[in-house]
Amino acid sequence: MEAPGPLRAVRSWEELDPDPGDDESALEAMLLTVGERGYVKATVREVAERARIGEDRFHRRLGSKEECFARAYAGAAEALAAEVEDAALAADSWRGAFRAGLAALLAFVAEQPLKARALLLEVRAARGRAWATHQELVERAVAALETAREQPGARPGASPMTAGFVAGAIEESLNVELAAGRAEQAPFLLDDFTHLAFLQLFGEG
């Protein structure tokens, strides 16, 4: 019978608790719980129960509620941004790209209302690193809208502030719908949002 090897000291909790899949389930649970209960009311206990892990394990792997939400937010928001950008890139014109990207965003809101509420609405209550990520993504969206000024037919009076106004108006309108529990209506706003954007950027409906 072979003799057992020498015992080795465990150097970290991750060696005792190595399953990264639990991290992903907890991040998902954080977004869904915040979307359902609101950031202020959501608790680590609720998130841990939803992810089917213990609170101790949650804190060891993901830190505080704020840290977990910031990490969950960064991953989900970047994934959404990539989805919107991919939809836009598949179009063959600036106007087509705007409409396709916006349609992808509105479909996400309708199909995943809890996540959408966490990403668009509740991040305002969370602030911190999640809010910083939100602002970076808004700046990316505004920069994309600003390229309209380089397109044929661009409205001469359009300025960098115009793109910010369009992005802000769309976000605020979506937050109104989310707060009112009307996420499923988001795709029906496509024509109105497109009209608003094209009126401001090109002087056309």
Work out the burial of residue 140: count CB atoms within 10 Å of its CB; fewer than 13 is exposed, 13-18 middle, 19 or more buried: middle
Residues 6+ apart with CB under 8 A from 146: 160, 163
Structural domain includes residue 49: no
pLDDT at residue 132 tops 90: yes
Structural domain includes residue 46: no
SS3 157: coil
Structural domain includes residue 2: no
Residues 6+ apart with CB under 8 A from 161: none
**By percentage, how much of the chain surpasses pLDDT 90?**
85
Structural domain includes residue 51: no
Contact 91, 100 (CB under 8 A): yes
What string of DSSP letters covers 19-82? -THHHHHHHHHHHHHHHHH-TTT--HHHHHHHHT--HHHHHHHH-SHHHHHHHHHHHHHHHHHH
Sign of the Cα pseudo-torsion (62, 53, 25, 37, in order):
negative
pLDDT at residue 8 tops 60: no
Structural domain includes residue 196: yes
User: Mean of the pLDDT values across residues 48-72?
Assistant: 95
For residue 153, how far is the Cα from the chain centroid?
32
CATH number assigned to the domain comprising residue 106: 1.10.357
Structural domain includes residue 41: no
Tell me 10's DSSP state.
-
For the entire predicted model, the pTM comes to 0.88
Structural domain includes residue 23: no
Domain count, the chain: 1
Q: Would you place residue 205 in the very low, low, confident or very high pLDDT band (cuts 50, 70, 90)? A: low
Structural domain span for residue 143: 73-202
pLDDT at residue 17 tops 80: no
Structural domain includes residue 100: yes
| Angle, in degrees to the nearest 10, between helices 44-51 and 65-89 | 60
pLDDT of residue 159: 86
Model confidence over 187-202: pLDDT tens digits? 999 999 999 999 999 9
Structure tokens at 171: 């976000």
Model confidence over 78-110: pLDDT tens digits? 999 999 999 999 999 999 999 999 999 999 999
